[in-house]
């Protein structure tokens, strides 16, 4: 069969690189510490001892987008906040995923007015939408597990194709120096 | 010593007879309709007068009476902490050139509140030290609380028009 037969004592398991990498990504996801409204309270509850998100390898939020690879948009995004959300997304390191938590982040919810972005997918690409107003912690955990399943199906080659794009936040000028992202805004 | 609405009205009218265009009372709160140019003087008088002492500016509100003349109105609510008494001052502003004198000099707390009224209704406060938007983004176009602004941001989606609306939505690229 594989290497384990030759090794004899079953101390080695063979698998594909893809499965190993995706397993590592799903079980060590780092959400960003970022709450916008009442949904953030449910997000905190899902990480606390009652619901215990650490069972799925996500026990701690990172306060810096550089150290995070999952953005949970927990709450309504106002039009004044939208550039900030996009900037935080741009600052996260690849590979990165986005969960739109709750009705407001998914489609604007009850706030169909001038102040609120009608769905956070207008400014960042969303992987999983969690319905509810606000969603219960079980619903958020369900959404995160769905994201895990999605990540497990990801092909490394495919992600690389996306990964090779020039990040919108940082551009290189003619001499190869990075151009500040303030230019974009 | 309790203040009576009638006594307050008498005191203001004795000092600013022609400034008061009209009076009203709603649930015990006296409201004075003022000529706009007299507003800072009346506000200063209400604060400084030892019998009144309305030292707290509780609210500055804008109102859009679409179809009425003048279209806009700015309402100031003052509270006298000494006498536990409230009063409202109202001034109108025209639709074409909505201008009201600022009372930021008399009540420094009015700076932010007048900025909010400007942000939402587009009413210009003459003499305001820093009249700019406070809630909406700086590059926002229009004044969202005016009744001529659209009520909803996007059309409400049902099953029969969902696809049509969805096709127009500006989804983010990577």
**Which of B45, B3, B46 lies closest to B28 in space, CA to CA?**
B3
H helices then E strands: how many in chain A? 7, 5
Range from A30-44, A82-96, B75-89, B159-173 carrying the lowest mean pLDDT: B159-173
pLDDT in tens, B93-150: 998 889 999 999 889 999 999 999 999 999 999 999 999 999 888 888 889 899 988 8
The 3-state DSSP class for residue B131 equals coil
* Residue B135, token pair as written in the block: 């809630």
Domain boundaries, chain A: 17-184
How many Å apart are CA B145 and CA A182, to the nearest integer? 31
Confidence at residue A14, expressed as pLDDT on a 0 to 100 scale: 79
Contacts of B154 in chain A (CB under 8 A): 108, 112, 118
For the A17-184 domain, the top CATH level (class) is alpha beta
* Residue A118, token pair as written in the block: 């009608």
**Which of A76, A116, A124 lies closest to A96 in space, CA to CA?**
A124
**Which of A148, A150, A151 lies closest to A55 in space, CA to CA?**
A148
Which residues does B10 contact at the CB level (< 8 Å), separation at least 6?
none
pLDDT in tens, B3-62: 888 888 888 888 888 888 888 889 989 999 999 999 999 999 999 888 888 999 999 999
Confidence at residue A164, expressed as pLDDT on a 0 to 100 scale: 40
How many Å apart are CA A1 and CA B69, to the nearest integer? 89
**Which of A168, A18, A144 lies closest to A94 in space, CA to CA?**
A168
> Residue A178 — pLDDT band, cuts 50, 70, 90?
very low
Put simply, the chain A residues between 70 and 89 with a CB less than 8 A from any chain B CB are 79-80, 86
Total Cβ atoms within 10 A of residue B149: 13
Burial zone of B82 (CB within 10 Å; 0-12 exposed, 13-18 middle, 19+ buried):
middle
Q: Cβ–Cβ of A122/B170 closer than 8 Å?
A: yes
Q: In what order do the strands lie in the sheet with B20-26?
A: B20-26, B29-34, B85-93, B72-80, B56-64
Report the percentage of chain B scoring pLDDT > 70.
98
Confidence at residue A2, expressed as pLDDT on a 0 to 100 scale: 65
* Residue B54, token pair as written in the block: 């309305």
In chain A, the residue whose alpha carbon lies closest to the alpha carbon of B139 is A80
How many Å apart are CA A61 and CA A82, to the nearest integer? 21
pLDDT in tens, B41-50: 999 999 988 8
How many Å apart are CA A15 and CA B84, to the nearest integer? 78
The 3-state DSSP class for residue A146 equals helix
Put simply, the chain A residues between 144 and 163 with a CB less than 8 A from any chain B CB are 162
In chain A, the residue whose alpha carbon lies closest to the alpha carbon of B168 is A122
How many Å apart are CA B3 and CA B11, to the nearest integer? 11
In chain A, the residue whose alpha carbon lies closest to the alpha carbon of B144 is A114
Indicate the DSSP class of residue B78. Answer: E
Indicate the DSSP class of residue A40. Answer: H
CATH code: domain B5-145 is 3.30.460.80
* Residue A62, token pair as written in the block: 């990172």
The 3-state DSSP class for residue A122 equals helix
pLDDT in tens, A45-87: 998 889 888 888 877 888 888 989 899 999 899 888 888 888 8
Confidence at residue B112, expressed as pLDDT on a 0 to 100 scale: 93
Cβ burial A154-174 (10 Å sphere, 16+ → b, else e): beeeebeeeeeeeeebeeeee
The answer for A164, left when phi > 0, alpha when psi is -120 to 50, beta otherwise, is: alpha
**CA B74 to chain centroid:** 3
CB pairs under 8 A between A and B: 43
Question: Is ipTM over 0.90?
Answer: no
A63 touches B: beta carbon within 8 Å = no
* A72 in Cβ contact with A32 (< 8 Å): yes
């Amino acid at each position: 069969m594989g290497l384990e037969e030759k090794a004899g004592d079953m101390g080695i398991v063979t698998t594909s690189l893809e499965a190993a990498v995706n397993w590592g990504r799903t079980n060590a996801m780092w959400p960003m510490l970022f709450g916008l409204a009442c949904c953030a309270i449910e997000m905190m509850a899902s990480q606390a001892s009652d619901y215990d998100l650490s069972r799925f390898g996500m026990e701690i939020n990172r306060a810096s987008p550089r150290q995070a690879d999952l953005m949970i948009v927990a709450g309504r995004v106002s039009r004044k906040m939208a550039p900030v959300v996009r900037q935080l997304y741009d600052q996260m390191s690849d590979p990165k995923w986005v969960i739109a938590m709750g009705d407001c982040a998914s489609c604007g919810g009850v706030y169909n007015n001038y102040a609120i972005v009608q769905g956070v997918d207008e400014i960042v690409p969303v992987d999983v939408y969690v319905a509810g107003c606000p969603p219960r912690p079980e619903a958020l955990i369900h959404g995160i597990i769905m994201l895990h399943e999605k990540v497990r199906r990801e092909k490394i080659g495919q992600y690389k194709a996306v990964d090779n794009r020039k990040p919108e936040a940082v551009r290189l000028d003619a001499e190869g120096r990075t151009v500040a992202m303030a230019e974009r805004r | 010593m309790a203040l009576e609405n009638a006594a307050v009205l008498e005191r203001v009218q004795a000092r600013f007879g022609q400034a008061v265009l009209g009076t009203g009372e709603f649930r015990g709160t006296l409201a004075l309709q003022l000529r706009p140019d007299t507003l800072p003087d009346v506000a200063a008088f209400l604060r400084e007068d030892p019998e009144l002492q309305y030292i707290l500016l509780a609210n500055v509100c804008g109102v859009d009476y679409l179809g009425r003349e003048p279209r806009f109105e700015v309402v100031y609510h003052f509270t006298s902490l000494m006498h536990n008494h409230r009063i409202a001052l109202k001034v109108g502003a025209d639709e074409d050139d909505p201008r009201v004198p600022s009372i930021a000099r008399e009540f420094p707390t009015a700076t932010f509140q007048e900025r909010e009224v400007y942000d939402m209704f587009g009413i210009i406060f003459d003499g305001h030290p820093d009249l700019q938007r406070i809630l909406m983004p700086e590059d926002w176009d229009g004044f969202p609380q005016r009744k001529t602004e659209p009520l909803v941001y996007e059309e409400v989606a049902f099953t029969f028009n969902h696809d049509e609306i969805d096709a127009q939505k500006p989804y983010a690229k990577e």
